[in-house]
Structures are given as structure tokens and as C-alpha cells.
Amino acid sequence: MSDEILDEITASDYKYGFTTDIESDKVPPGLNEEVIRMISAKKNEPEWMLEWRLDAFRIWSEMEEPEWPNVTYEKPDFQAISYYSAPKQKKELGSLDEVDPELLKTFERLGISLDEQKRLSGVAMDVVVDSVSVATTFKKTLAEKGIIFCSMSEAIQEHPELVRKHLGTIVPKRDNFYAALNSAVFTDGSFCYIPKGVRCPMELSTYFRINEAGTGQFERTLVVADARSYVSYLEGCTAPSRDENQLHAAVVELIAMDDAEIKYSTVQNWYPGDAEGKGGVFNFVTKRGLCERNAKISWTQVETGSAVTWKYPSCILKGDHSVGEFYSVAVTNKYQQADTGTKMIHLGKNTKSTIISKGISAGKSHNSYRGLVRVGARAENARNFSQCDSLLMGDQCGAHTFPYIEAQHPTAQIEHEATTSKIGEDQLFYCNQRGIGTEEAIALIVNGYCKEVLNQLPMEFAVEAQKLLEVSLEGSVG
């Protein structure tokens, strides 16, 4: 591909780079027990929650930041981050009309006006700006089915028994450095509980956005699908452009009880930094799900943003006949770095997992797939299929694959396929010859390449994801 085209593609701007002028209530930078007590007090938390956080903080204090991912970045100064930033408006919100108009404008610019969302798509949204959940829609409809869908803060107040029972059971406090940090300082997130035998009638959706300068976002999500239930959960993320690096260290825990199914989809579009690699979000996320007997967890992610991403949505296939799936598109451009993949831990008999990973690297970026398939000693007849494809644009980017396979049972069937390809001159010329311009041609080819993953996304999300792919790779071919 000619350098000119590449330059143009690499030059596209971050569409979501604006900040919103909302008064916010922010804790001074720094991290110590006092700050954690302050966060807990501001959120009016019960004693057990505070103790849980303090325990996590002590664990974290003794941990080292990991070095093994295939990324290089300047380590965040944890004492320079403000760990709590909430839009200043504390009263209860009964309807959208009560939401700060500035905030609503932000949503509109993001193209996710709540009114629209409510009316058109029937999506119930829990919107998290910085750290506090500001509006939850459709709660009533859900409540009729016994479904709980609320902010994590609210869940701690209203459903402490459920939170206490499950929080940290899938991703323990000492799991890793960032999970420990998150456990100590998480300020909000979403909680979802689907009762036995209930099929959630709508897609549940959360939109995260980092607004305040110098804040980290540490959201915590817990989804519990009780026996024979089903839920599809969507998560979208955006951050305004900032010069400095912002830290995002989230933890997501999924629990699928016997015969339950959870479909978890993410479209991640955090600010990737500018054309010189300055700024951008550090996205260090721990996502993991547990499948009981005959349960199924399916992760789908479209990752286009962040300066550095480090994330492995995983499935622990504990129950016999349980199924884990991972469908991923990760795009890196400019100076972005992504080290992402999954872990499929087969413990039960006849467990099955599928991994489809599509990496796209452009500019001077680096894109790594890292995945583990482990078949335990009792996992008779476990089966895995992995397909890891890399697409390179230009000759200054890198694609890397690190598959790890550990099989402890002789009946294990593990298949791994990997391909690396380039968008060829031939493909572009072919499209050009049919009247399709180069930029459109790239969008067409990339969308085709990602199709298996995009097909997994719910309709309205798939459209957004497709647009995002185009935006993150587009230039201004004129």
C-alpha cells in the first residue's frame, strides 16, 4: 500500500474528543487508607464493604505491577490520580428530565441520547459518567420480572446479601495488581441479577465515559445469571481526548449458574492518544466468567480505542457440558498497543470452547493476541477451537500471537489456526476498478474480515461497531 494512503488513514481524528463542563465532586489525588475511607463514606457504604476495600488495598500495596504483557508504557503514578470524581448532583433522579442538561448533551454528542435509546431500541441503560451511575432506565419493566439492574453503589445499599455473596468470587482481590487496585477503590459500575428461569426481555446496556481530567475509572461489574436464565449485556466505553494518560482498571465478574447463558458484548473506544502517541487511556481490565453445569458464557469485544490495552476476558468452564466463547476484534493504529486475548479453563467434562480473534494493526501500532487453553485433569472430552487472524496495514506495525495450550487429559481436542494477511494492492485495485474508492475499499475489506465477530453483536451494536472500525481506520482521502 502506498505511504500516502497510510498517512491519510493514520491521520484520522478522535471523534469523541470533547469534555463536558459539569461541576464535579472530586477527591484530591493520592491513594492511602484515608482516601479509601473517604470514598466509602461518600458512598455511604456498610462496614463490611469498607473492610473489603481496605483488605484489597493492603494486598495491592504489596504487589508489583506486571511486566509480562507485550506493551511498553510509562507506569502510572498512583499517587497522582484522583480516585473519586462524581458529577455534583446528589438528589434522586426519577426521570431523565432531572438529569443535568450538560450531561444529556454529552450523551447526544456521543450519539447515545437516552431518549432515543429508550424509544427506539428498547435498551435499558445504566450510564456511568466518571464514577457515579446517573440514570438507569427501564428499571420498572425489569423489576416486574424480578431482574435487578442497577449501579453497583445502589446494589451495595439495596441488595447487600447478593453483592456480598458473589463479589470477588470470580476475580479475587489478589488475582492481579489491577484487580486488587480496583477492589480497593472502585467507585461504581453495574450490577445485574437474573432470577431462576427468567429470560431477560431486553439487552442490558451500560455506557462508560471518562470525563474528568486526571481521574482513573475503576468500575466494577457483576452479573449473576441464576439457573436456566438468559441475559445479553452490552457495554460501551468512550473517553474525551486528554494530553495525559488516563487509567482505566475495571473488573467484570460473570456467574452463569446451571443451564444459564450470559452474552457479554463490549465496544471499547477509549481515547487512543494523538498522532504522536501522546495521551490516551491505559485500559487494564480483568474480565472473567464462571460457568456451572451446562451453562454458557459468550464474550464479544470490539476494541478500537485506548493507548495501551491489556485484557483477557476468560471463562472458567467448571460445570460439565458448559460452553465458553470469545469473539474479538482488536484494532490498533498510530502508536496504540494491545495485548489481548482470552483464557478458557476447562474443568468439567464435555466442556467446549471457541476462540475467534481478529487483530488489525495499522500505523506504528502493536497488536498481540495472548490466549490460554487449559484442559484440567478431570475434563474428559474437552474441546477447543481457536482461530487467530491478523491483518496488517502498512509495514510499520506489528502483529504477535502468543497461544498457550496446557492439556492434562488425554481425550482433549484442541485446534489452533492462525493466519496473517495484508490488505493487498491487488484487493484495493480490484475494488477501485469497480468504482470503489480506496477508503471505502478498506472499510469493506476490514468489515468482511471481522464479519464472524461482528455477527455475534446485537444488531444496534453491530452498526455502531462497524462505524467505529471505519472511523478508527479512516483518513481524509480527498
In the three-class reduction of DSSP (H, G, I as helix; E, B as strand; rest coil), residue 222 is classed as strand
In the complex, minimum distance from the CB of residue 473 to other proteins, in angstroms, rounded to a whole number: 15
CB closer to other proteins out of 100 and 440: 440
The single residue among 278, 430, 463, 476 that binds other proteins, judged by CB under 8 A, is 430
CB closer to other proteins out of 55 and 452: 452
- CA-to-CA distance for 308 and 368, rounded, in angstroms? 11
Write out the three cell numbers for 365. Answer: 501500532
- CA-to-CA distance for 82 and 214, rounded, in angstroms? 6
In the complex, minimum distance from the CB of residue 304 to other proteins, in angstroms, rounded to a whole number: 18
Q: Is position 434 an interface residue for other proteins (rule: CB under 8 A)?
A: yes
Binders of other proteins among residues 255 to 284 (CB under 8 A) are none
* Cα→Cα distances 109→68, 103, 114, 217, 446, Å: 38, 10, 11, 21, 26
CB closer to other proteins out of 161 and 426: 426
Q: Is position 425 an interface residue for other proteins (rule: CB under 8 A)?
A: yes
CB closer to other proteins out of 229 and 438: 438
In the complex, minimum distance from the CB of residue 5 to other proteins, in angstroms, rounded to a whole number: 11
The per-residue b/e assignment along 178-198, b for 16 or more CB within 10 angstroms, e otherwise, is bbbbbbbbbbbbbbbbbbeeb
The single residue among 90, 424, 463, 476 that binds other proteins, judged by CB under 8 A, is 424
- CA-to-CA distance for 320 and 378, rounded, in angstroms? 10
Query: Binding mask 54-93 vs other proteins (x if CB under 8 A, - otherwise)?
Result: ----------------------------------------
In the complex, minimum distance from the CB of residue 465 to other proteins, in angstroms, rounded to a whole number: 14
3-state secondary structure 5-41: HHHHHHCCCCCCCCCCCCCEEECCCCCCHHHHHHHHH
Applying CB under 8 A, which part among 264-272, 304-312, 335-343, 439-447 lies near other proteins?
439-447
Q: Is position 435 an interface residue for other proteins (rule: CB under 8 A)?
A: yes
In the chain the first and final C-alpha atoms are separated, in Å, by 17
The single residue among 61, 420, 432, 476 that binds other proteins, judged by CB under 8 A, is 432
Applying CB under 8 A, which part among 31-39, 145-153, 344-352, 420-428 lies near other proteins?
420-428
Q: Is position 476 an interface residue for other proteins (rule: CB under 8 A)?
A: no
Binders of other proteins among residues 442 to 471 (CB under 8 A) are 444-445, 447-452
CB closer to other proteins out of 123 and 450: 450
Nearest to 381 by CA among 356, 342, 404, 407: 407
Query: Binding mask 116-145 vs other proteins (x if CB under 8 A, - otherwise)?
Result: ------------------------------
In the complex, minimum distance from the CB of residue 434 to other proteins, in angstroms, rounded to a whole number: 4
Applying CB under 8 A, which part among 224-232, 348-356, 374-382, 424-432 lies near other proteins?
424-432
- CA-to-CA distance for 370 and 422, rounded, in angstroms? 20
Reduced DSSP (H G I as helix, E B as strand, rest coil) percent helix, strand, coil of the chain, to 5: 25, 35, 40
Residue with cell 477492589: 183
Nearest to 310 by CA among 362, 246, 249, 245: 249
- CA-to-CA distance for 312 and 140, rounded, in angstroms? 34
The distance between the two most distant Cα atoms of the chain, rounded to a whole number of Å, is 68
In the complex, minimum distance from the CB of residue 429 to other proteins, in angstroms, rounded to a whole number: 6
CB closer to other proteins out of 140 and 434: 434
Q: Applying CB under 8 A, what is the total number of residues that bind other proteins?
A: 24
In the complex, minimum distance from the CB of residue 385 to other proteins, in angstroms, rounded to a whole number: 18
Applying CB under 8 A, which part among 133-141, 157-165, 240-248, 440-448 lies near other proteins?
440-448
In the complex, minimum distance from the CB of residue 2 to other proteins, in angstroms, rounded to a whole number: 7
In the complex, minimum distance from the CB of residue 111 to other proteins, in angstroms, rounded to a whole number: 22
User: What is the DSSP track for 88-100?
Assistant: S--S---SGGGS-
Strand intervals (E) in 203-295: 204-209, 219-225, 230-238, 245-248, 251-256, 261-269, 280-291
Q: Is position 395 an interface residue for other proteins (rule: CB under 8 A)?
A: no
3-state secondary structure 400-447: EEEEEEEECCCCCEEEEEEEEEECCHHHHHHHHHCCCCHHHHHHHHHH
- CA-to-CA distance for 258 and 295, rounded, in angstroms? 5
Residue numbers at the binding site for other proteins (CB under 8 A): 2, 424-427, 429-438, 440, 444-445, 447-452
